[in-house]
Structure 1
Amino acid sequence: MHELPKDIRRRLIPRWRRVKDTPNEELTSAKPSVMSSEFQSEFKELKDEWLARKDVLSASELLYAAALGYEEEAVRQAAHFVIETPGVSAGLKRLAMGRLPPVPQSSPPPVDHKQTFEIRALKSKLVEQPRNAHAHIELARAYVSVGLNDKAKHHVRIAIELAPVNRFVLRTAARFDVHRGRVARSIKALENVAPHDPWVAATLVALADLSGTSVKRIKPIRELLDRTTNPVEKSELAAALGTLELKDAGIRKARKYFQVSAVSPNENVVAQLFWLSKNFGVNFDQKLLERSEAFEARAQSSADANDWTSAVEACFRWLENEPFAIRPAFEGGYIASEMLGDFKAALEFAHRGLASNPKDIGLMNNLAFALIMEDDLIKSKEWLDRAKHLLAGDHERERAVLQATEGLLLYRQGNVFEAAEHYTSTIKAARGLKNEKLLQIAYLHFCYEELRIGHAPPFWSSDELTKFFTGDDANKDAKVVFQRMVLPMLVARQKYGLIGAGYGAPLPIWVRPT
């Protein structure tokens, strides 16, 4: 069976798209209007001193003061001066390079979406533009998409040195750290810039929430939200603060932040608002689903409406937008295989997911399951063996799903009794985990395999099966699996007068929380 998508507590982790697909407001740095009055006065003094003296010392002091992301012509002049002056330290020159706008970058040529070709094109571009921070981030993204995290890390590090306070660089570096499971570095890097840039602040709040740490200097960040007037600039920060408030104080205090975030949201905020509407009853405007690149929200909305084909298409678009993200690979593959029986699409999701997450046990299981359903038993066993080798002792849910998939393989190999034992073990494990959805879908796969070889359904009669999986106690997804996979087999048995009773001891299917 396919690994079930995990229920998550969603946060406002920034997207990492190609530069050409990233909205302009997410690429620019913080504006001077977000400076505190005290800093404005100090900054003006340093700027006037630079304009009067035009030496390395005054230029360096202005650059360090501007390192929070503020843009002015005087800062660019000072940066050019430092770069062009002989004898200046390499560290100061890197700081100066970070104060200059990135070299304009054209899109890589379309080459059949092959990441390896994109890597070659981006490496060639860097030969011509070695200090283009955005180009380094683009190359890092391409490397991550094919699982080359060490190479990606090298280019992320270079981008940070070239543009240490660039909004886009900081946010994509943070997304890279989330992908690697190492958010502490980004939290530290974001803390100084966050009180002055709402986009960076949103990322810091989300990462602190994700890691379970408190946000340092939260008061200046809340004040930043209040004094940011552009609703586009403040949307993601408001949603991140609301999500944090939701955990600490509940929906009543968080709701005001969500109302602010809904005025002019980007697609990441749209996805957050949709998740909040399903889990906490926050109002959601369905027109937001029409926003460009709102693929995640459209995938969830389509799945809720049982529009499985649209949900799969949205997951593919979501995965194309963020090819290293694991959630669209899981959710798209699950819907394709379990809801639609489209195992070629499920194979595509698994392959794409494993390209950037090569050691993920769940994706290995999903690939093995789809290969079995496509009658490639040899390759499926290879992937199952890899997954079992990586399985740790405390991953009980993953172990239960792997047992079911191995049970399927055993059925298709003709080892019926051992196969049935595997499915029974999965069902018992799911009951122990109090995972109703896993239990019911695993049982339906068990039923299907028994019916496929001419046996009666296990444990329940055909009438009992039909009554339960068309009733109120059945899981929503399990009902779809029953209608697609098991019910036609039961109808065929009834048509030909086969016995409808099951075998074995009764097994509770609906798991009630204790």
Structure 2
Amino acid sequence: MSFSKEESDRKVIPLWDSSKLASSLAENSAIRSTNHQTTDVSESERLMEEFSRSSAVGTAIELLNSAKLENNRKGELLASRRIIEDGCLPASVISMARITLEEEQAPLEATDPKDRIKAIRKSLIDSPKNTLAWVDLAREYISLGQGEPAERAMIVALGLAPNHRWVSRVASRLYIHLGDIERSHYLLARHPAIKTDPWIASAELAVSQMIGKVSKNLTSARRIHELGLHPRHTTELASSLGTLEIESGAIKRAKKYIRDSLVHANRNTLAQALWAEQRHDIKSDHHSQVKSLEIAYEAKARESYIQGEAEPAIAHALDWFAAEPFSSKPPVLASYIASLDDQYELIIDITKKGLIANPNNSILKLNRAYAELAMITPLHPSEQDREKLPTWITLFTEELKEGGSHHAQALANFGILCYRMGMLEEGRKYYEAAERVCQAESYRDPVLCTIYHAREALLAKAEWATTILERARAITQKTADVGKLEGSGSLEKVNQLHASPDHYRAIFKIPDTSTTKPTKNPGHLEFADSILSGLSFHLPGDFKLR
């Protein structure tokens, strides 16, 4: 299980919403200067004004294309009615206009992504140049873990609108998900508006930070920030600049940029401000904005988690997951917080869904395994439990190989497995190794790992259980910055277990498996030997088998 090795390098990378939601957001609106006295209209607004003077069908076609890209619904309808009225245009143009008008009575959106894909593909037969539909198709595919068709759809969208701000930003987000960070950066760095558009500049800065490069556009990004543009357009740029200053150690400048990002914050910059406060103690007045912005799901989830409120934290994390179904971060956070609240079946459900788009995510796999292990009746594994042993062992073994980044979780999961199977001494060895790794790899602290160790030792009635519990109490007491859910909340349940061991199912919400047939011959010692003989060389160098 994850022991809250906190996200130390959050970047302000572009979010990727459906085109319908994105149409109402600042990044899809015209950029206006707070110092400029004239009205700055978008391309579709300019064409609407021209169309009102001439009603030319050629202008209507231009308006329809522009209005779709800019999500100007009024312009779309105005142009579509004129195109249908003309009736002598190419079939593809008439079809696009007809579909636009039919959407006025649009049915409820399908809930199954496969059905949404079918609907989008059907619409593209009639309107193959609908850029936003291609972007939405890519999003649906990547949410199902289908990277290749997602990339193909996005390539079409980029071909149709190579310089469109939102299309370029979400395309870069797709390549981040696919692990092609260099391609993501290339799309942004080559954009013709890189030196003038705050949204492109912000994204390029963030992706540059991800690949460890100093952006060649840093000077122009700072200049854009000082142009006096409306703060809703510079919020992510200010946040990216602040993050860069944090990395360079210039905390005073970082604080200024973070404050600037909150003048007209969006959900991305609110989450970044929360991260900056939690990780670098950069205080800012963002808490009231988090509460008031309905779609600030990530920030709401993290804030509730920090405040020790498990249920709302999980609910907000699941809302975040629904908004970004392709991202691994929402299900990782939701499953982690659910583990602190002993909601094991919910963890399994969350991780199952998260692994659809992220089938190789180790944390999700380890979190799912932890939930499955936590539901084993202590010392009485069932036949069904034993059938899962090969899967668990393979997963933990792979993670413990050189290069794995989640050693502590894998070691601790081996620990709970051994304890639940009745191999007490081996469980102790693995948990102690996990505690050492937590300390060595700069986890916030090994508090939760030690508390879980005490829980498993008490459940297994190990003779050293009280000693581990005392150590957990001492560590929790002297660690000031441990979260309530990880620290005092988790320790309190273990204290209850120590006082009332027969009530462990109620305390830890372990399902009653009295109808499940226990294993007849666990083969505890043989199983323990097979684990240790195969993994001892992966343990920390100073760890000795006893």
* TM surpasses 0.5: yes
2:161–2:167 Cα contact (<8 Å) kept: yes
Q: Deviations over 1:60-96 (max 9, x none)?
A: xxxxxx9xx99xx9xxx9xxxxxxxxxxxxxxxxxxx
Q: Deviations over 1:155-212 (max 9, x none)?
A: 1111111110111111111111111222222322222322122211111111112211
Are 1:343 and 1:374, in contact at CA under 8 Å, matched by a contact in 2?
Answer: yes
RMSD value, Cα:
3.8
Range with greater deviation from structure 2 (419-428 or 309-318)? 419-428
* Maintained 8 Å contact 2:195/2:224: yes
- Find the partner of 2:457 among 450, 457, 462: 450
Classify the secondary structure of the residue corresponding to 2:406.
helix
Q: Which residue of 2 aligns with 1:322?
A: 324
Aligned residue for 1:227, secondary structure, equals coil
Alpha carbons 1:30, 1:197 under 8 Å: kept = no
Q: Specify the alignment match of 1:342 in structure 2.
A: 343
Aligned partner of 1:296 among 292, 295, 298: 298
Residues 400-409 or 457-466, more deviating: 457-466
Task: Return closer, same or farther for 1:237/1:373 CA change in 2, 3 Å cut-off.
Answer: same
Distance 1:246 1:230, change over 3 A: same
Q: C-alpha distance in 1, partners of 2:9/2:302? A: 14
Amino acid of the structure 2 residue aligned with 1:266: N
- The aligned counterpart of 2:362 is 361
- What is the deviation of 1:312? 0.7
Deviation at 1:281, TM superposition (A): 2.0
1:401–1:204 CA distance, 2 compared to 1 (3 A): same
- Counterparts of residues 467-506 of structure 1 (less than 5 Å): 467-472=474-479, 475-476=482-483, 477-480=485-488, 482-492=490-500
Question: Contact 1:156 / 1:173 at 8 angstroms: preserved in 2?
Answer: yes
Separation in structure 2 between the aligned mates of residue 377 and residue 421 of structure 1, nearest angstrom: 22
**Structure 2 segments unaligned to the other structure (5+ residues):** 35-65, 80-98, 377-383, 504-546
Paired residues, what number?
Answer: 441
Distance 1:231 1:432 in 2: 42
Deviation string 1:102-148 (CA, Å, 9 cap, x unpaired) is: 9797888444x432222222222222222111111111111111211
Contact 2:472 2:491 in 1 (8 A): no
How much does 1:227 deviate? Answer: 2.6
Would the alpha carbon gap of residues 134 and 401 (structure 1) be closer, same or farther in structure 2, given more than 3 Å must change? same
Corresponding residue for residue 287 of structure 2? 286
Alignment of 1:105-254 (within 5 A): 109-111=108-110, 113-191=111-189, 192-248=192-248, 250-254=250-254
Deviates most, 354-363 or 117-126 = 117-126
Q: Is the 8 A contact 1:164 1:170 kept in 2?
A: yes
Structure 1 runs of 4+ aligned residues shifted over 4 Å read 29-34, 102-108, 461-465, 470-474
Instruction: Specify every segment of 5 or more residues in structure 1 that has no aligned partner in the other structure, as ranges.
Output: 35-65, 78-101, 496-514
Match of 2:269?
269
Counterpart residue identity of residue 199, structure 2: W
Deviations, residues 252-279 of structure 1 (Å, cap 9, x unaligned): 2233322322111111111112222332
Q: How big is the shift at 1:321?
A: 0.7
Change (3 A) 1:411 1:481: farther
Partner of 1:423: 431
Give, in whole Å, the separation in 2 of the partners of 1:433 and 1:194.
38
Please show how residues 56-67 of structure 1 align to structure 2 within 5 Å: none
1:333 counterpart residue number: 335
Q: Would the aligned equivalents of 2:201 and 2:237 in 1 still touch at CA under 8 Å? A: yes
Pairs within 5 Å for 1:348-427:
348-375=349-376, 377=385, 380-381=388-389, 383-388=391-396, 390-391=398-399, 393-395=401-403, 397-427=405-435
Matched, 1:12 2:19: no
Between 318-327 and 247-256, the greater mean CA deviation after superposition: 247-256
The answer to whether the 8 A contact 1:143-1:151 is kept is yes
Q: Provide the rounded CA distance (Å) in 2 between the counterparts of 1:379 and 1:318.
A: 34
Query: What is the CA distance between 1:333 and its match in structure 2?
Result: 0.8
How has the CA–CA distance of structure 1 residues 428 and 25 changed in structure 2, closer, same or farther, with 3 Å as cutoff? closer
Rounded to whole Å, the distance in 1 between the matches of 2:21 and 2:163 is 21
What amino acid sits opposite 2:487 in the alignment?
K
Structure 1 residues 441 and 203, CA gap change in structure 2 (3 angstroms) = same
Cα distance, 1:330 vs. partner?
1.3
Kindly indicate whether the alpha-carbon contact (under 8 Å) linking 1:29 and 1:166 is maintained by their aligned counterparts in 2. no
Say whether residues 1:440 and 2:427 are aligned partners. Answer: no
Distance 1:467 1:187, change over 3 A: closer
After superposition, the C-alpha distances for 1:267-322 in whole angstroms (9 at most, x for unaligned) are 11111122223323232232101212111111111111111111111110111111
Percent identity, aligned pairs only?
A: 23
